[in-house]
Each structure stands twice: as structure tokens, then as C-alpha cells.
């Protein structure tokens, strides 16, 4: 089956053509980073307006890149939520229009479901596995027993890890989004220069908290009185990043062990972080666990990642009608239960 996937939950407009939920023929992304950088964060109305302008062009580019005509598309997959409501509604409306005009089925999937199944576009990953979804909006651990079968094991109680990266970058006078810049600066820094806390590391649960590390950075900056530059900035970036990476990796491995899982998927924008990838790989070698990262293009927001679940649901006959609405807030576990119940009704 050849599906067109559309993603518009935040500040990337993306469209992809994917065959059989595995073969990515194209995965076009139009980033709005420059628009929002002026404001130091995503401005929801501007995001929606940019999706409206860029959406048709991005779909056209995805078709051209794949060498596919619109009338060859057999199904449309779209992010239903969670995300910015205006941004989601634009992508959803576009997907509905295309599905209606082409008389092909439509299905709305969960954004985080897309992220954690993204590695399946590049390699076989057997179920069950533990998934760490780590992005600008999420830091969640799930047990994944199959497509649509997700159990929440832990989550951040305050900021998402990506949000902490972005806020610390902003405090240091770096641009938005700051995660990749901290990553780059940290390469030349000393991870032991600042002693930032490792919140909740030793608690016997799988929840996270990142606002304390962020506050510790703010306190260190206030004590200095001036913004750090050069090697000072690199040291601060490296020390902050190390604190976040240590908490993420240690707790994830502990959750895998406690749940008898020997495969770990790390997905979402923060999964691009080089130190996080290094540390996960190092601990994997020590523990015998398999750790899987999508390639960087499939870690950040993109439409192709939606096609894994979308293709699966469409094949089972699980489709949405044209009254489908967007969900700004939509827990993945709940989405999975809804999909499973509907599959059950279909006899799947």
C-alpha cells in the first residue's frame, strides 16, 4: 500500500510517501525555525499560518521527489495529536481534502506513536521493546508490545528534556531551538566543570524532572553575573547536558531491566543528541541490551514516521471518517486503547 503522510503538530510542515509502512520514497520537511527564532519559541498562530502556506507545496514536493502522482496514493495518514491545535487542524484539513478528493481511506495517528515506531522504517525491531520518547514536549517511557499496544511506565513531572535544553540555551543567550547548539558547544566542554543535580535519579520509579537542573543553571549564571562565552560556555553546556543524559540513560536502562525488556528505542528530537547516543551505546555494550536510534532525520518531526502505524491501521480496515477532529492533548496509552478497541470491533 502506498500512503501519503502529513505532519503539522508543531513547527515543521512535512509530507511523505511511504510504501507498505516501511519504504520511504520521500520525506519532505519545511521548517519554520527562522519564523519562531525571532520570538524565542514557537508562536502557535504563526505556526498554523505557516502550515497553511507550506502544506500544499510540501505535498507537491513529496510527490515529485517520490515520482508518484496523487491518484496513485492509496491512503492518507495524518497526525491527529497531540500538538498545537491550530497547527494540527491545518494538517488534518489538508489530509481530509486529499482523502476525499481521491476517495481513499484516512487515518489519524498519534504523534509520539510516530516517533517511537520511526526506527521500523530503517530496520526490523522486534516487539516488545522499551521506548524513550524524548522531545520538546515529551519525556515518556513506554512499554511497547506491538503497534497500538503502549503502556506508560514513567514521564516527566515538569519540563520535557528538549524544553530544558531550549530554556537553558535561551538563558545562555543562544538562539531557538537550542538543543542542537548546546550539543555542539558541549563537545569542547568539561562535563565536570559544574556540579548540576541529577533529579529523581535514585527514586524507585521511572519518572523524570528537569526543572531543577534548569534552575541550577540559572543560579550558576546569576552567580557569574555575565553571560558565559568561549570555554566557560562550553563547560556549562557540557555539564548541563551530562546531567540530563545521565538521568535519561540510567533511568531508561533501569526501566528496561525492571520490565524484562532487552530492546530500547530512543526517539524524538532529543534523540539527535550526540552525548545521549554515545552514552546509550556505551551502556548497551555493558548490559547486552539492544539500543536502537532512528537516523537524525527520522528523530526530529517528520511525516514518514507516521506511516508505520498508519499503514498498519489502514490494512486492518481501521479508518477515520471526514468528521475526524484534532486532539491538542491525547495520552498515547489512551490512543492505543482506542485503536485496540476499534481493531477488536473489526475482528483484528
Chain residues binding ligand KG4 by CB under 6 A are: 10, 135-137, 162, 165-166, 177-180, 183, 268-270, 272-273, 300-301
In 86-122, which positions are buried (b, 16+ CB within 10 angstroms) versus exposed (e)?
bbbbbbbbbbbebbeebebbbbbbbbbbbbbbbbbbe
Identify which of 178, 179, 172, 163 has the alpha carbon closest to the alpha carbon of residue 230: 172
Q: How is the beta sheet containing 75-81 ordered, strand by strand?
A: 23-31, 12-19, 2-7, 75-81, 106-110
177 contacts which partner out of ligand KG4, Zn ion, none, CB within 5 to 8 A by kind? ligand KG4
**What is the distance between the alpha carbons of residues 341 and 348, in angstroms, rounded to a whole number?**
10
For ligand KG4, the closer of residues 301 and 320 by Cβ is 301
Q: How far is the CB of 164 from ligand KG4 (least distance, A)?
A: 8
154 contacts which partner out of Zn ion, ligand KG4, none, CB within 5 to 8 A by kind? none
273 contacts which partner out of Zn ion, ligand KG4, none, CB within 5 to 8 A by kind? ligand KG4
For ligand KG4, the closer of residues 108 and 136 by Cβ is 136
Q: How many CA atoms lie within 13 A of 84 on its CB side?
A: 23
31's enclosing H/E stretch is: strand 23-31
- CB 52 within 8 Å of CB 90: yes
Q: How far is the CB of 243 from Zn ion (least distance, A)?
A: 23
- DSSP calls for 45-111: HHHHHHHHHHHHHHHHHHHHHHT--GGG--EEEEEEESS-HHHHHHHHHHHHHHHHHHT--EEEEEH
Residue with the CB atom nearest ligand KG4 in the bound state: 269
CA 231 vs CA 169, 181, 199, 234: distances in Å = 15, 14, 26, 5
For ligand KG4, the closer of residues 268 and 310 by Cβ is 268
Q: How far is the CB of 73 from ligand KG4 (least distance, A)?
A: 25
For Zn ion, the closer of residues 94 and 135 by Cβ is 135
Q: How far is the CB of 77 from Zn ion (least distance, A)?
A: 15
Q: How far is the CB of 115 from Zn ion (least distance, A)?
A: 6
Which parts of this chain interact with Zn ion (CB under 5 A)?
Answer: 135, 301
- CB 150 within 8 Å of CB 177: no
What value does the CA radius of gyration of the chain take, rounded to a whole number of Å?
20
For Zn ion, the closer of residues 30 and 287 by Cβ is 30
Q: How far is the CB of 136 from ligand KG4 (least distance, A)?
A: 3
For Zn ion, the closer of residues 179 and 199 by Cβ is 179
For Zn ion, the closer of residues 73 and 272 by Cβ is 272
Q: How far is the CB of 135 from ligand KG4 (least distance, A)?
A: 3
272 contacts which partner out of Zn ion, ligand KG4, none, CB within 5 to 8 A by kind? ligand KG4
180 contacts which partner out of Zn ion, ligand KG4, none, CB within 5 to 8 A by kind? ligand KG4
**What is the distance between the alpha carbons of residues 298 and 118, in angstroms, rounded to a whole number?**
6
179 contacts which partner out of ligand KG4, Zn ion, none, CB within 5 to 8 A by kind? ligand KG4
For Zn ion, the closer of residues 135 and 275 by Cβ is 135
7 contacts which partner out of Zn ion, ligand KG4, none, CB within 5 to 8 A by kind? none
162 contacts which partner out of Zn ion, ligand KG4, none, CB within 5 to 8 A by kind? ligand KG4
Identify which of 68, 52, 51, 90 has the alpha carbon closest to the alpha carbon of residue 16: 68
For residue 10, the SS3 value is coil
**What is the distance between the alpha carbons of residues 31 and 278, in angstroms, rounded to a whole number?**
27
Q: How far is the CB of 261 from ligand KG4 (least distance, A)?
A: 23
For residue 229, the SS3 value is coil
Amino acid at each position: 500500500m502506498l500512503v501519503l503522510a502529513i505532519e503539522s503538530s508543531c513547527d515543521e510542515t512535512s509530507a511523505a510517501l511511504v510504501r507498505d509502512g516501511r519504504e520511504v520514497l520521500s520525506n519532505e520537511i519545511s521548517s519554520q525555525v527562522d519564523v519562531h527564532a525571532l520570538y524565542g519559541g514557537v508562536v502557535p498562530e504563526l505556526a498554523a499560518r505557516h502550515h497553511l502556506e507550506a502544506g500544499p507545496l510540501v505535498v507537491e514536493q513529496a510527490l515529485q521527489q517520490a515520482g508518484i502522482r496523487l491518484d496513485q496514493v492509496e491512503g492518507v495518514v495524518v497526525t491527529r495529536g497531540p500538538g498545537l491545535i491550530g497547527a494540527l487542524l491545518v494538517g488534518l484539513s489538508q489530509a481530509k481534502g486529499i482523502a476525499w478528493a481521491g476517495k481513499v481511506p484516512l487515518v489519524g495517528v498519534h504523534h509520539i506513536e510516530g516517533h517511537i515506531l520511526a526506527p521500523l522504517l530503517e530496520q526490523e525491531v522486534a516487539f516488545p521493546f522499551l521506548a524513550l520518547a524524548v522531545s520538546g514536549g515529551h519525556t515518556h517511557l513506554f512499554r511497547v508490545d506491538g503497534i497500538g499496544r503502549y503502556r506508560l511506565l514513567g514521564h516527566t513531572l515538569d519540563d520535557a528534556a528538549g524544553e530544558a535544553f531550549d530554556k537553558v540555551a535561551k538563558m545562555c543567550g543562544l538562539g531557538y531551538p537550542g538543543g542542537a547548539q548546546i550539543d555542539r558547544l558541549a563537545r569542547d566542554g568539561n562535563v565536570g566543570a559544574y556540579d548540576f543535580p541529577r533529579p529523581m535519579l535514585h527514586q524507585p520509579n521511572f519518572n523524570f524532572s528537569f526543572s531543577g537542573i534548569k534552575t541550577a543553571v540559572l543560579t550558576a549564571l546569576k552567580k557569574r553575573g555575565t553571560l558565559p562565552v568561549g570555554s566557560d560556555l562550553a563547560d556549562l553546556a557540557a555539564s548541563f547536558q551530562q546531567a540530563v543524559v545521565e538521568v535519561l540513560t540510567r533511568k531508561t536502562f533501569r526501566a528496561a531491566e525492571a520490565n524484562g525488556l532487552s530492546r530500547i528505542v530512543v526517539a524524538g528530537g532529543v534523540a539527535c543528541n550526540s552525548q545521549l547516543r554515545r552514552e546509550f551505546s556505551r551502556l548497551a555494550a555493558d548490559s547486552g541490551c539492544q539500543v536502537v536510534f532512528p537516523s537524525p532525520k527520522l528523530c526530529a518531526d517528520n511525516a514518514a514516521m507516521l506511516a508505520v502505524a498508519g499503514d498498519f491501521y489502514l490494512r486492518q480496515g481501521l479508518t477515520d471518517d471526514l468528521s475526524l477532529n484534532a486532539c491538542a492533548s491525547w495520552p498515547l496509552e489512551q490512543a492505543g486503547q482506542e485503536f485496540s478497541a476499534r481493531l477488536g470491533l473489526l475482528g483484528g
